[in-house]
Structure 1
Amino acid sequence: MSVGPKPGDSFPEDVVFEYIPWAEEIDGFSACGVPINYNASKEWADKKVVLFALPGAFTPVCSARHVPGYMENLPKLREKGVDIVAVLAFNDAYVMSAWGKANKVTGDDILFLSDPDLKFSKSIGWAALDGYKSHTGRWAIVLDHGKVIYAQLERSKNVLEVSSAEAVLGAL
């Protein structure tokens, strides 16, 4: 993909994130799972997927509006044929897992994925530099059987317009 995916682009064949799968026995904050690789290219090849990214777990806009918007609209996304909803940030898999727990997300309702080295975000040109540190930009991509059908990057860090659940629903 070039800078910023566009509708009609194919999702790359080598996208691997890290995550800790939800399990009832590790649902509490004091219990940790083991991070594993999540081969998004393989897992998403035959599915309709909403992948949204944000600057970081436990941050104001991300925690107050971005993730809650997807949680509230999950039934509507499912009605539109979305098989998988995933959130991506640069935080490590442990932090992303804890954030899922803090949001009371169970099972695979929303996958909390890690792009710790920003490999994917940088590959599409949607990583962000905020002062001295890099992080994931705020964006949303919708895939349908490996093809991009929606891809939008927010105009600035604390803006939630084109990557919100409502915006994605409007595009489906």
Structure 2
Amino acid sequence: MSIQVGDKLPEATFMEMTADGPQPRTTEQVFGGKTVALFAVPGAYTPTCSARHLPGFVDKSGDLKAKGVDEIICTSVNDVFVMGAWGKDAGAGETVRMLADGNGAFAKAIGLELDASGFGMGQRSQRYSMIVKDGTVSELNVEDGGEFKVSSADYMLNQL
């Protein structure tokens, strides 16, 4: 069963590329005491993720922050080096933090893993977005199949 509105995020560790190299980040460090717009994509550099999902959050970052979001975070079941490079290539800079869920532990822990073996991608994360307040899910938007509707930055803006 997947995580639901009102649930606390489980303990997990992400990896983030920094000027000092890869650094671990726990869910408490990332989400504690903040309002976070979190979105997950099946894969860095994949068509919808690169052309629409990440750019939408980069473009709308100011609007999201104006509505009370402290941080915007993108996660994917990719390694930290890929996530760091993708964020740099996409111009995410300081607007969107890129957190790697390299082994898919977070996706699995929240019940939003995706078996993309049929596409040669192995285990991944479903496409979703959520608003997390001090570690607790206040909004959850999970896409059906290959859709891109409810996990967009614009959709999230309407929820705030």
Question: Normalised by the shorter chain, which TM-score bucket?
Answer: over 0.9
Cα deviation digits, residues 38-58 of structure 1 (max 9, x gap): 112233110000110001111
* DSSP 3-state at the match of 2:99: strand
The answer to whether the Cα contact below 8 Å between 1:20 and 1:36 also exists between their aligned partners in 2 is yes
* DSSP 3-state at the match of 2:59: helix
Cα deviation digits, residues 85-127 of structure 1 (max 9, x gap): 00001110000000011012223x2111111110010111111
1:49 aligned partner, one-letter code:
V
* DSSP 3-state at the match of 2:60: helix
* DSSP 3-state at the match of 2:54: helix
Q: How does 1:1-172 map to 2 (within 5 A)?
A: 3-12=1-10, 14-21=11-18, 23=19, 34-107=21-94, 109-130=95-116, 131=118, 133-157=122-146, 159-172=147-160
**Unaligned ranges ≥5, structure 2:** none
d(CA) in 2 for partners of 1:54 and 1:43?
18
Name the stretch that deviates more: 127-136 or 75-84. 127-136
d(CA) in 1 for partners of 2:138 and 2:128?
14
TM-score w.r.t. the length of structure 1 is: 0.86
1:149 aligned partner, one-letter code:
S
User: Would you identify which runs of 4 or more consecutive aligned residues in structure 1 move more than 6 Å?
Assistant: none
The answer to whether the Cα contact below 8 Å between 1:47 and 1:145 also exists between their aligned partners in 2 is yes
d(CA) in 2 for partners of 1:114 and 1:39?
12
The answer to whether the Cα contact below 8 Å between 1:139 and 1:151 also exists between their aligned partners in 2 is yes
The answer to whether the Cα contact below 8 Å between 2:9 and 2:27 also exists between their aligned partners in 1 is no
d(CA) in 2 for partners of 1:58 and 1:20?
17
Shift of 1:11: 2.0
d(CA) in 1 for partners of 2:92 and 2:84?
10
d(CA) in 2 for partners of 1:60 and 1:94?
19
TM-score w.r.t. the length of structure 2 is: 0.92
Q: How many residues align?
A: 157
The answer to whether the Cα contact below 8 Å between 2:27 and 2:135 also exists between their aligned partners in 1 is no
- Please say which structure displays the higher CA radius of gyration: 1
Amino-acid identity (%): 34
**Unaligned ranges ≥5, structure 1:** 24-32
The answer to whether the Cα contact below 8 Å between 1:16 and 1:41 also exists between their aligned partners in 2 is no
